[in-house]
Structure 1
Amino acid sequence: MDEIIALGEWLQRVSAGRRDRGEATVFAWAEVHGAIAIVDDKDARMAAQRAGLAAHGTLWVIARAVVAERITCAGAVGFVDAMLSSGARYPFGYGGFVPWAEAQGLL
């Protein structure tokens, strides 16, 4: 029941239509379970952070994996480039993950 109540609250905070329901669901679950929400929609992520919820994107997770030595920089670049090939939209092109992550203070 806690998840349903939280979902209703998050839908009011971030929902501008059907597209934002996924983010609201992630935020509700993360809030109820004390987790970090991982979503790539920047506006939704910022709304979550304004509401006090820890929220980051996929690139943050990948950078954390590099720092924790769970994946190499080369592996991360290959993974991110594959996501770019499949339609992901990131603020850099192929091969640009490491310089971007360094500029963001993630690596």
Structure 2
Amino acid sequence: MNLEKLKLFRHYYVMIVCYIYFTRIIAIMLRVTMPFQWQWCYEFLVEASTLVFFVLTGYKFRPASNNPYLQLPLDELDVEMDEVVTESGALEGITKVKKTSNGRERQRESTL
């Protein structure tokens, strides 16, 4: 399972490196060597590469049924059950007061 996670991030790392090299080095070299009337191509290439990068990122990290980050371990013996705590200390000692129509206190109930 960890190998699948590492493969995904290895592909993502390669995508980031290619994007940075293209937008910072190759596109700037093209901008310097192009004649003035073709300078718009630099902006087009940078914007197109940004679009491709984000589309591929969304595609790689899309929700899927075989998502390696949401898979549970196969061995139930290795899984330790944590104690479920349902009460927090934030509401300790707080009570709910019901009032009648004439404004007097009728009864007190604990919110917990």
| TM-score band, normalised by shorter chain | under 0.3
The structure whose Rg is larger is 2
TM-score calculated relative to the size of structure 1: 0.26
- Choose between structure 1 and 2: higher helix proportion: 1
- Choose between structure 1 and 2: higher strand proportion: 2
Using CA pairs below 8 Å that are at least 6 residues apart, which structure has the higher relative contact order? 2
